[in-house]
Amino acid sequence: MARNDQPTLNPPENLPTAEQLSAELIDLLHQGVGMDVLTQRLTQAQQLPEDSAGKALLLERVRRAMALCSRLASVQQRESGMLAVIDSARDLSARLDLQELLRALVARARNMLGSHVSWLSTYDTQQDVFGILAVDGSHRLSAGQTVSGCDTGIVGLVKRTRRPFTTHDYQRDTRFVHDSSLDTTFREEGVNAIVGVPLLWEEEVIGLLFVGDRHHRSHTVQEISLLSTLATHAAVAIKNARAFEDARTALHSAQAAQEALEQHARRVQVAAEAHERMTSLLARGATLSTICEAMAQMLEGDVLVLDEASQTIGRGVHDRGVSPSAERHVSYGAHSADIASAQRRSRQVGRSVVAYEVDGETCRLNAVIGGDDVLGAVLLFRKRDLAEAEVRTFERCASVVGVLLLSRERIEASRIREQAALLRSLLAPRREEQPLLSERAERLGLPPGHPLSLVVIEAEDPDSSYMARRLRAANLLLGVIFDELDGALVLICPTRHLDEVRASMTGFMAQQHDACWRGVMSRPAEGFSDLPRLHAALRRALPVLARIGARNQFVAQNEMALYATLFETHDQASLTEFLEAAIGELMRYDEKRGTQLLPTLLTYFDTNQSATVTAKRLGIHVNTARQRLTTIEELIGSWTQATRALELHMALRLWQLRTGPERRIARTPEQPAAR
């Protein structure tokens, strides 16, 4: 009600008459004065003399005016409360921001009761405390602040009873357990009277709405009822916001689940297409190289296939370029231990595993198993590791590689058996088998009617069986029949390809770590019937090479024929004594002074003791050659006698075989070596 423009009271000495006060009441009610003005008029009426005419009637009229004023104030407050409730209901449907809605509702509650402070707090079920969401008119309270636990203060009382609570003097009220920190806040805020109502939802207190005054005040039932209505609106708003948030979260979860499902479906489709593609390639008889290239494109990485000896037998490169890690990969390299460990783990779990990570790249390995045997491994190099569906695709591709390797192994095993049978038949043929042998040999790349050469290699490390497996895996010897036979590697090839075979084998053996081997090459065989005799001669020559100490070189049968006959019963110690007695002085002289007396004398004998041809062969002046021969004669004596010359020539040839190919002296076609 309006509180301004109030009439001025007359001083006590000039009290109005009863008639004047009675007439003024109607004007005061029409002006909408407050109860305090009518109270003053009641006091003035009571101060009139007892014998004043109309005093009793005036008192009655003033009391009725006061009652009417109280009813009008109540009606106005009810109308104001209803308007506040209507505005609050309108906000529930018009405002979507929960914080803004709660701030408006708290301000409306404060204005409706004409109070100084109002705030709204909600219950945090996880921390079991009440926290402020919105506040209006306060200097100490703020949004986000924790105001009380669930067992203390008005908060605990209202939560337990689920009924409104009002107090006209908070600090002295003993109906609840005080919270010291909250008492201090209200003391600093100056709050005395407080009314609090619960925010109820399905009989559960989800929050509290408070209104406070900085003076002592009693709140009416109507005020508490209006405040409870606003609290109900706040509860609806909070629950609607939470329900909306839950719905939005559920929608996001559903969208995420749909996206994950679509992504999984795409991955399944990609995996199915990859499986179909790999199966189709396998059915069409694709090579290992084609399979590796297909895997590289599908998995967006570089692929290596290793055999059981960790040698690379297949490679696939993605379109974006060669992976640095895949390019640097070598057998028995820096990560060989990681690969061996990963291969063991992959075999144990039956799945692919990460072998190692380097320079931002991941190497994933899947062991390739054939029955109880390890056929090798498939390595994938890429910048990031695979998703689960991609891992399954990689493992299916590795299974296809396993099928291909197993098929190749069976085909190779059949071909090896056929080659081994043919090799043994060629080295020990029977007359009646000649037509059949010719047919089988021609089918395996040895056409009859062409000269053939036989090569026998004796290896100490690696052994001959391992060498045969590695040669087949490397596919180096095309058109060559070879196999391990009685501890040695035996090869038969057309004579026109002998130099290529020799170069390939030398390069292959050089790649083997700490290899120790020696080989003998036969004279050309005009037909299959010559092969058994040549094989026996080469077998006799190998022990002689071992006794001489020759290693890591090929020696022609022509160079070994005489020595194999003379020294096949001698051991290495007796040969060393023979060399020491014959050319020991020359060996020590060359070793001490770095001269070339031994090669000079060998070339001199090989050129029919011609100093001129010797000088030309060695690329020196003829006088230098004669000076060397003079020095040699001073050291070991004359060789004019034929037996002495033969002894020296034999010793020099043995020395040449023992020292290896780097000390061999080149010969021209015009001057063949003396035998």
Which of 205-209, 422-426, 461-465, 653-657 is least confident?
461-465
Total domains present in the chain = 5
Q: Is 279 within a domain?
A: no
Counted residue by residue, the chain has a size of 675
Asked if 233 and 104 sit in the same domain, the reply is: yes
Rounded to 10 degrees, the C-alpha dihedral 511/515/516/520 comes to -30
User: 489, 556, 565, 479: which is closest to 523 by C-alpha?
Assistant: 556
- Give the whole-angstrom CA distance, residue 669 versus residue 646: 23
Which of 96-105, 113-122, 351-360, 504-513 is least confident?
96-105
- Give the whole-angstrom CA distance, residue 189 versus residue 147: 14
pLDDT of residue 79: 63
Helices then strands, counting H and E runs in the chain, come out as: 21, 16
Q: Is 150 within a domain?
A: yes
For residue 605, give the CATH number of its domain: 1.10.10.2840
- Give the whole-angstrom CA distance, residue 328 versus residue 313: 15
In whole numbers, what is the pLDDT of the chain averaged over residues?
A: 79
| Last residue in a domain, options 545, 567, 589 | 567
pLDDT of residue 9: 41
The answer to whether the peptide bond before residue 462 is cis (omega within 30 degrees of 0) is: yes
- Give the whole-angstrom CA distance, residue 573 versus residue 637: 25
Using DSSP's 3-state secondary structure scheme, residue 383 falls into coil
For residue 444, give the CATH number of its domain: 3.30.70.270
pLDDT band at 334 (very low <50, low <70, confident <90, very high): confident
User: 483, 461, 456: which is closest to 472 by C-alpha?
Assistant: 483
CB 305 within 8 A of CB 292: yes
Q: Is 669 within a domain?
A: no
- Give the whole-angstrom CA distance, residue 399 versus residue 274: 12
pLDDT band at 88 (very low <50, low <70, confident <90, very high): low
Which of 166-180, 268-282, 647-661 is least confident?
647-661
pLDDT of residue 213: 92
Give 3-state DSSP helix, strand, coil % of the chain, rounded to 5: 55, 15, 25
Asked if 437 and 505 sit in the same domain, the reply is: yes
Q: At what angle do helices 55-94 and 221-283 cross, to 10 degrees?
A: 0
Asked if 558 and 545 sit in the same domain, the reply is: yes
Whole domain around residue 373: which residue ranges?
A: 285-411
Which of 61-65, 235-239, 510-514 is least confident?
510-514
Would the pLDDT of 10 be above 50?
no
User: 652, 558, 660, 665: which is closest to 614 by C-alpha?
Assistant: 665
Q: How many of the other CB atoms lie within 10 Å of CB of 667?
A: 13
pLDDT band at 619 (very low <50, low <70, confident <90, very high): very high
Which of 121-135, 327-341, 497-511, 553-567 is least confident?
553-567
- Give the whole-angstrom CA distance, residue 621 versus residue 615: 6
Asked if 59 and 137 sit in the same domain, the reply is: no
The strand pairing partners of 304, in sequence order, are 315, 379
Q: Is 438 within a domain?
A: yes
CB 323 within 8 A of CB 382: yes
Q: Is 188 within a domain?
A: yes
pLDDT of residue 528: 80
Q: How many of the other CB atoms lie within 10 Å of CB of 240?
A: 14
| Last residue in a domain, options 359, 380, 411 | 411
| Last residue in a domain, options 518, 546, 567 | 567
Residue 649 neighbours by CB under 8 Å, 6+ apart: 602, 605, 674
Q: Is the dihedral of CA 42, 44, 50, 56 positive or negative?
A: negative
pLDDT of residue 429: 55
Using DSSP's 3-state secondary structure scheme, residue 378 falls into strand
pLDDT of residue 670: 36
Q: Which residue do the tokens 């060669």 mark?
A: 322
Asked if 394 and 528 sit in the same domain, the reply is: no
The strand pairing partners of 519, in sequence order, are 457, 554
CA distances 111 to 116, 252, 345, 532, 617, Å, are 8, 40, 75, 121, 123
Asked if 407 and 451 sit in the same domain, the reply is: no
> Angle at the Cα of 292 (from 291 to 295), degrees rounded to 5?
90
Q: Is 259 within a domain?
A: no
Asked if 101 and 235 sit in the same domain, the reply is: yes
Q: Is 397 within a domain?
A: yes
CB 304 within 8 A of CB 361: no
For residue range 438-490, list pLDDT tens digits in order.
777 777 777 777 888 889 888 876 677 777 877 777 777 777 888 888 888 88
pLDDT band at 92 (very low <50, low <70, confident <90, very high): low
For residue range 351-370, list pLDDT tens digits in order.
999 999 888 888 999 998 87
For residue 215, give the CATH number of its domain: 3.30.450.40
Query: 89: phi > 0 → left, psi -120 to 50 → alpha, else beta; which?
Result: alpha
Q: What are phi and psi of 194, to 5 degrees?
A: -140, 140
pLDDT of residue 15: 52
The 204-213 sheet, strands edge to edge: 146-149, 129-136, 117-124, 204-213, 193-201, 165-167
Q: Which residue do the tokens 């003024």 mark?
A: 24
Asked if 601 and 629 sit in the same domain, the reply is: yes
User: 505, 274, 266: which is closest to 399 by C-alpha?
Assistant: 274
Using DSSP's 3-state secondary structure scheme, residue 125 falls into coil
- Give the whole-angstrom CA distance, residue 407 versus residue 503: 31
CB 389 within 8 A of CB 271: yes
Q: Which residue do the tokens 């030398």 mark?
A: 506
- Give the whole-angstrom CA distance, residue 651 versus residue 577: 11
pLDDT band at 118 (very low <50, low <70, confident <90, very high): very high
Using DSSP's 3-state secondary structure scheme, residue 371 falls into coil
Name the H helices within 95-191: 98-113, 153-161, 180-189
Asked if 171 and 215 sit in the same domain, the reply is: yes
> Angle at the Cα of 362 (from 359 to 368), degrees rounded to 5?
140
Asked if 30 and 148 sit in the same domain, the reply is: no
Would the pLDDT of 402 be above 80?
yes
pTM of the model: 0.45
Residue 7 neighbours by CB under 8 Å, 6+ apart: 24, 28, 31, 33, 37
CA distances 219 to 31, 115, 169, 457, 516, Å, are 26, 11, 12, 115, 109
- Give the whole-angstrom CA distance, residue 652 versus residue 648: 6
Tell me whether residue 205 is exposed, middle or buried, using C-beta atoms within 10 angstroms of its C-beta: 0 to 12, 13 to 18, 19 or more. buried
Q: Is 267 within a domain?
A: no
One-letter amino acid for residue 644 of the chain = R
Would the pLDDT of 431 be above 60?
no
The strand pairing partners of 353, in sequence order, are 365
Most distant pair of Cα atoms in the chain: their distance: 186
- Give the whole-angstrom CA distance, residue 160 versus residue 154: 10
Asked if 76 and 149 sit in the same domain, the reply is: no
For residue range 570-581, list pLDDT tens digits in order.
556 666 777 787
Asked if 605 and 548 sit in the same domain, the reply is: no
Q: At what angle do helices 642-659 and 557-567 cross, to 10 degrees?
A: 110
